[in-house]
Amino acid sequence: MLEPTYQADVVVVGAGIAGLSAARRLTSAGVTTVVLEAAHEVGGRMATEKVDGFRLDRIGRLLSTAHPELRPGPEGPALLPFDPGVLLHSDGRHHRAGVQPGARARGTRSALHAVRALASAPRAGAGPRRPAAVPGRQVSVPRRRSGAPLGTAMDQARLGAALARLAGTPVERLLARPELPAAEALVARGLPARTIDGFLRPLLAALLCDPDLTTSSRCADLALHAFASGRLCLPEGGAEALPQQLARTLPPGTVRTGVRVTSVSTTSVATAEHGEFRCGAVLIATGARAAAELLPGLRVPDFHPVTVVHHTTDEPPATGASLLLDADRGGPVAYTAVVSRVDPSRAPAGRTLVTSTVLGPSVPGIDTAVRMHLARLYGVSTARWETLAVRHTADAVPAMRPPLDLRRPVRLLAGLYVCGDHRDTGTVEGALRSAQRATAALLTDLGVNRPLHTADPVPTARAA
Ligand SMILES: Cc1cc2nc3c(=O)[nH]c(=O)nc-3n(C[C@H](O)[C@H](O)[C@H](O)COP(=O)(O)OP(=O)(O)OC[C@H]3O[C@@H](n4cnc5c(N)ncnc54)[C@H](O)[C@@H]3O)c2cc1C
């Protein structure tokens, strides 16, 4: 039982990535802080479930090594990169796309050979297999008349140039571009239809968790900018490694789990079972819906629902550590990967973990539909794959439709602040940026002028 009249300079409500990042900034500035978390673990939506030695993320989250909010820290978990670019499935074949010139030059020869081998192999059961690729020998990739999913060599060159231009464009300039729904902006920018349908649509749907691409084109540009400037990656040990690392940097006793806040004012919070906490200021760092319960009148956005399905198999598909997207959109899976190839710590020794993400509302029989789709995507039978978990989150990602205010207010009153992914982009990076803005406002109001550290001690990007 906690002291009912516990005193702190600031009470932070919610120990997701935003609340923990804010607490770190506040405690670094010498402000006494307590974080109250309703769940029994920290991390919020970045939770990792442990099942039979597997580490299963609730979110099939794709981070980018390019994000400035995720600067390397010596003690943080490593960010483990996927193979460069993405693997696109189209008409029974795999095609590598979106590889940055730097990644190619750094020697991804074996990955490219693997892709060529995959590209030359027809779908399982679709006919005789071609000879396997011999490392070091060029393997011919059959040309398809349609050129799908990436179009002609000229289309691919234009795509490469467009991605390189995007990577070199300052974020401020991207944010000053006219704003449209992302699907309309893709067409308006004059890219070939094949490039849009075969690559950009499935990639953006995966990055934004938005299958219809109703998201603001500014968010889409930010997502593509991060994709083109870095590598998609996963935190070693599961998504929870990032919030847990932040929690470890806080003074002992700062985070109290199992404490649900029921109401707030500028000087106190009331909890369900632990009485009242007095303080100098309150920062609400919950998701949007819980924030609106505590702060009636706060806008609740629509959400993109997401289902994550985890399977294990004794026979790992031969896609290496690639992120596999379906350019044909021939089933429910938006993207999938053999994540134990990216991060072996997520599966017991000798086991394989395949994690797949389905965008949209929950539907009955999703596991069967996902298995059938995975069989086509990987070109193997999935009949004997074992399902480890199917996790649906209705309020997974706040919708970011235009016109979008990327810097929604975080200071409601002197003494009352709000942060989280609903105040910025609906992403982990947005949650972190909103925490930075909220703590800056809070410290100004408290009259604390001490310099803050500028980065959270989260992951270190590790070479492939
Ligand atoms: C399935 C899924 C897929 C996703 N995919 C992506 C993706 O691809 N890319 C991306 O960028 N983002 C993705 N996200 C979103 C990303 O996880 C969130 O943007 C980010 O984790 C939000 O962090 P937060 O700290 O703002 O909120 P949260 O993580 O929601 O943390 C809020 C915390 O507040 C606590 N809380 C709530 N009410 C109370 C209360 N009354 N008292 C005390 N504590 C309370 C909650 O228990 C929670 O721990 C995905 C999310 C899910 C679920």
pLDDT (tens digit, 9 = 90+) per residue, 58-106? 986 677 776 655 554 667 788 899 999 999 999 899 999 988 766 543 3
Same domain membership, residue 389 and residue 334: yes
Nearest 5 degrees, angle CA 330-CA 160-CA 67? Answer: 85
Mean pLDDT, the chain, rounded, equals 85
Per-residue pLDDT at 413 exceeds 60: yes
**Ligand 1 contact, 288 CB (< 6 A):** no
Average pLDDT over residues 28-41: 96
Same domain membership, residue 211 and residue 294: no
Same domain membership, residue 275 and residue 255: yes
| Neighbour count for residue 445 (Cβ, 10 Å) | 16
- 177 sits in the region (left: phi over 0; alpha: psi -120 to 50; else beta) called beta
Same domain membership, residue 271 and residue 315: no
Residue 154, pLDDT score? 85
Q: Which of 364, 398, 432 is the last residue of a domain?
A: 398
Per-residue pLDDT at 424 exceeds 70: yes
Output the residue whose Cα is nearest ligand 1's atom 19: 427
Output the residue whose Cα is nearest ligand 1's atom 41: 261
CATH, residue 147? 3.90.660.50
Residue 7, pLDDT score? 83
Residue at 133 is within a domain: yes
Beta-sheet strand order (sheet of 232-235): 63-64, 232-235, 78-81, 460-461
Per-residue pLDDT at 250 exceeds 90: yes
More confident residue, 291 or 460: 291
Residue 389, pLDDT score? 97
CATH, residue 438? 3.50.50.60
Same domain membership, residue 337 and residue 417: no
> For residue 18, which atom of ligand 1 is closest to its CA?
25
Contact call for residues 50 and 461 (beta carbons, < 8 A): no
CA–CA separation, 436 and 203 (whole Å): 29
Residue at 37 is within a domain: yes
Residue at 67 is within a domain: no
Q: Among residues of the chain, what percentage have pLDDT more than 90?
A: 72
For 384-421, give the DSSP string.
TPEEEEEEEEEEEEE--PSS--TT---EEETTEEE-SG
In terms of Cα–Cα distance, which of 332, 309, 334 is closest to 388?
309
DSSP H or E stretch at residue 364: none
**Ligand 1 contact, 287 CB (< 6 A):** yes
Give me 143's structure tokens.
Answer: 């040309």
Average pLDDT over residues 231-258: 94
Virtual torsion, Cα 345, 348, 351, 355, nearest 10 deg: -50
**Ligand 1 contact, 460 CB (< 6 A):** no
Kindly give the distance from the C-alpha atom of residue 13 to the centroid of ligand 1, in angstroms, as a whole number. Answer: 13
Domain range for 273: 5-47+240-301+408-446
The mean-pLDDT minimum among 4-13, 283-292, 380-389 falls in 4-13
Residue 160, pLDDT score? 87
CA–CA separation, 85 and 96 (whole Å): 7
**Ligand 1 contact, 209 CB (< 6 A):** yes
Q: Residue 402's Cα: distance from chain center in Å?
A: 21
CA–CA separation, 58 and 432 (whole Å): 19
Residue at 424 is within a domain: yes
Residue 124, pLDDT score? 35
Same domain membership, residue 258 and residue 123: no
Per-residue pLDDT at 113 exceeds 60: no
Same domain membership, residue 367 and residue 442: no
- Reported pTM: 0.87
Q: Choose one of 37, 59, 264 to mutate for the ligand 1 pocket test, by most ligand atoms within 8 angstroms of C-beta.
A: 59
Beta bridge partners of 416: 282, 413
Average pLDDT over residues 387-398: 96
Residue 104, pLDDT score? 46
Per-residue pLDDT at 138 exceeds 70: no
CA–CA separation, 334 and 370 (whole Å): 10
**Ligand 1 contact, 353 CB (< 6 A):** no
The mean-pLDDT minimum among 5-9, 189-193, 334-338, 398-402 falls in 5-9
Virtual torsion, Cα 79, 80, 83, 86, nearest 10 deg: -50
Output the residue whose Cα is nearest ligand 1's atom 51: 396
Residue at 461 is within a domain: no
Residue at 23 is within a domain: yes
Kindly give the distance from the C-alpha atom of residue 69 to the centroid of ligand 1, in angstroms, as a whole number. Answer: 17
Residue 78, pLDDT score? 87
Kindly give the distance from the C-alpha atom of residue 18 to the centroid of ligand 1, in angstroms, as a whole number. Answer: 8
Same domain membership, residue 229 and residue 245: no
Same domain membership, residue 336 and residue 321: yes
* Secondary structure letter of residue 187 according to DSSP: H
Q: Which of 374, 398, 422 is the last residue of a domain?
A: 398
Residue at 193 is within a domain: yes
Residue at 456 is within a domain: no
For 227-274, give the DSSP string.
HHHS-EEEETT-TTHHHHHHHHTSPTT-EEES--EEEE-SSEEEESSS
Same domain membership, residue 215 and residue 105: yes
Same domain membership, residue 175 and residue 263: no
Residue 49 backbone dihedrals phi, psi, to 5 degrees = -90, 140
Radius of gyration of the chain (CA): 23
Contact call for residues 391 and 59 (beta carbons, < 8 A): no
**Ligand 1 contact, 46 CB (< 6 A):** yes
> For residue 262, which atom of ligand 1 is closest to its CA?
41
Using one digit for the tens of pLDDT, what is the confidence trace for 312-349?
A: 999 999 999 999 999 999 999 999 999 999 999 999 99
Same domain membership, residue 267 and residue 385: no
Task: List Cβ neighbours of 437 (8 Å cut-off, separation of 6 or more).
Answer: 407, 410, 419, 423, 424
**Ligand 1 contact, 338 CB (< 6 A):** no
Average pLDDT over residues 106-126: 31
Count of structural domains, the chain? 2
